[in-house]
Amino acid sequence: MGTDMMTIEHLHQEELLSRDELHDLQLKRLRKTLKTASASPHYARTLACIDPEDIRSLDQVRDLPFTTKEDLRRGYPFGFLARDPGQMIRMHASSGTTGSPTAMFYTAGDVSFWADLVARCMHMTGIRAEDTFQNLSGYGLFTGGLGMHYGAERLGCLTIPAGAGNSKRQIKLLKDFKVSCIHIIPSYALHLFSVFRESGLDPRDLNLRIALIGAEPHSEEIRTRIEELSGMKAYNSYGLSEMNGPGVAFECRTQNGMHLWEDAFLAEIIDPKTGNPLPEGQLGELVLTSLNREGMPIVRYRTRDLTRFIPGTCACGREHIRIDRIMGRADDMFILKGVNIYPMQVEQILMSMPEVGQNYLIVLEREGFIDQMRIKVEVRDEFFEEDMRVLKGLAQKITRSLQQEILITPKVDLVEHRSLPRTQGKAERVQDRRK
């Protein structure tokens, strides 16, 4: 077993459990969760005919009803509370850009357990109490701020709550306090490193060693760029507010899939169309049941996130199941000329080309009756200054590669570095102007 496993004295013996032990613990916690959940107005209705004591095997979870984002919206604000509102000490809300909001509540026990989980993740990547940790994600309702913050403090790190944006100030903090570890949204990381360059600084000359990157889908190519530009090791971090926030699944030092903490969550992969379970290794929608939440347990939540279980055990020795990097959301897929396309397929191709800069945007438009895909691609300065022939060649190379991968001939606009709009939080990759 790797020496980066938390020792029992330190925090969590659950990290070290075998599959059999995890299985027993999950069954016990599932029954308890169902009991607790039934106290909420929503589950009092949907779980009315379920007796938790009848649950004898984990497979029986499939007989329970799903919970969807729509259910959470309908239950807004208090319909999922399993305890008196007076017992809650924290609220967060999902970043969902469409529709009405959803709110998540936490008891003191929930906040504490969540901090333990995040500390476990951070420790797994090699972060230690001696590290200085700068959190560059938005604070406020978004869980990436306080969630990572409490985890870092729990681990004992000096924690800098920098928040998102204001790159010049971020760089000053990173430098002045000799920050060694950061948490950052991948699209913002790429932007930050270009601000570094413009200020005549190289992030590789600083004290930085570990970046935790997550909150939005990103390809292996983006990770590689982040690592090369900054000299840090970058670890993928997955979470969602419906399951606390960050700390649901995290990469270990092997960087080969994210361990999903099965003492805290029961995971299924289903066919998003039929809702049926898929065989291990197949790509589908991740469904999660919280196993240790007191204030607001959630049963069989349809995350809409597409991933797969990675078969086999990890070289690190941990037996918690691994999920692959998130391919995108079931809702992200768009259909153009009858072809199903995920933005991630486009990203993988673009980001594998050295000439391509740090940002891109997919625009779906309609010309007459014909649907078109236009891809706006930022080009790195040194290539943008080349003559027209070189740029034309690059546009053709991108078009050809995309044709091969997605069978669609896009229009490619090459644009200058930093000319595409950037959001403070999660990146917007697709604009559908067909409607």
Picked from Zn ion, ligand AMP, none, the partner binding residue 247 (CB below 5 to 8 A depending on kind) is none
Binding residues for Zn ion, rule: CB under 5 A, are 252, 254, 314, 316, 318
Task: List the single partner that 316 binds among ligand AMP, Zn ion, none, CB under 5 to 8 Å by kind.
Answer: Zn ion
Rounded least distance, CB 95 to ligand AMP, Å: 3
| Residue 314 touches which of ligand AMP, Zn ion, none (Cβ within 5-8 Å per kind) | Zn ion
3-state helix, strand, coil split of the chain in percent (to 5) is 35, 25, 40
Q: Answer whether 225's CB lies under 8 Å from 351's CB.
A: yes
To ligand AMP, the closest distance from the beta carbon of 327 in angstroms equals 9
CB of 235 to ligand AMP, least distance (A): 10
Q: Is 202 in a helix, a strand, or coil?
A: coil
Select the binding partner of residue 305 from Zn ion, ligand AMP, none (C-beta < 5 to 8 A, by kind): ligand AMP
CA distances from 200 to 171, 180, 203, 205, 225 (A): 12, 20, 10, 11, 19
Ramachandran class of 289: left when φ > 0, alpha when ψ lies in -120 to 50, beta otherwise: beta
Q: 111 in helix, strand or coil?
A: helix
Taking CB within 5 to 8 Å according to partner kind, which of Zn ion, ligand AMP, none is near residue 254? Zn ion
Nearer to ligand AMP, 272 or 410 (CB): 272
The answer to whether 178 touches 160, Cβ cutoff 8 Å, is no
The CA distance from 188 to 215, in Å, is 11
Q: Which does 255 bind (CB under 5 to 8 A by kind): ligand AMP, Zn ion, none?
A: none
Specify the residue, 94 or 132, whose C-beta has the smaller distance to ligand AMP. 94
Residues of the shown chain interacting with ligand AMP in the complex, contacts defined by CB under 6 A: 94-95, 143, 214-217, 236-241, 303, 305, 326, 329
Cα distances from 51 to residues 32, 35, 41, 67, 192, in angstroms, run 11, 8, 17, 18, 52
Q: Which is nearer to Zn ion, 146 or 249 (CB)?
A: 249
**Cα 167 from Cα 173, distance rounded (Å):** 10
Between 95 and 345, name the residue whose CB sits nearer to ligand AMP: 95
Min dist CB 2 to Zn ion, Å, is: 8
Residue (102 or 132) nearer to ligand AMP, CB: 102
- Which of ligand AMP, Zn ion, none does residue 217 bind (CB under 5 to 8 Å by kind)? ligand AMP
Alpha-carbon span 365 to 55, nearest angstrom: 51
Nearer to ligand AMP, 113 or 238 (CB): 238
Shortest distance, CB of residue 252 to Zn ion, whole angstroms? 3
Q: Give the Cβ contact number of residue 231 at 10 Å.
A: 15
Kindly tell me which of 117 and 379 has the beta carbon lying closer to Zn ion: 117
H or E element: which one contains 29? helix 19-37
For residue 15, give the 3-state DSSP assignment.
helix
CB of 248 to ligand AMP, least distance (A): 8
CB 122 → ligand AMP: shortest distance, Å?
A: 14
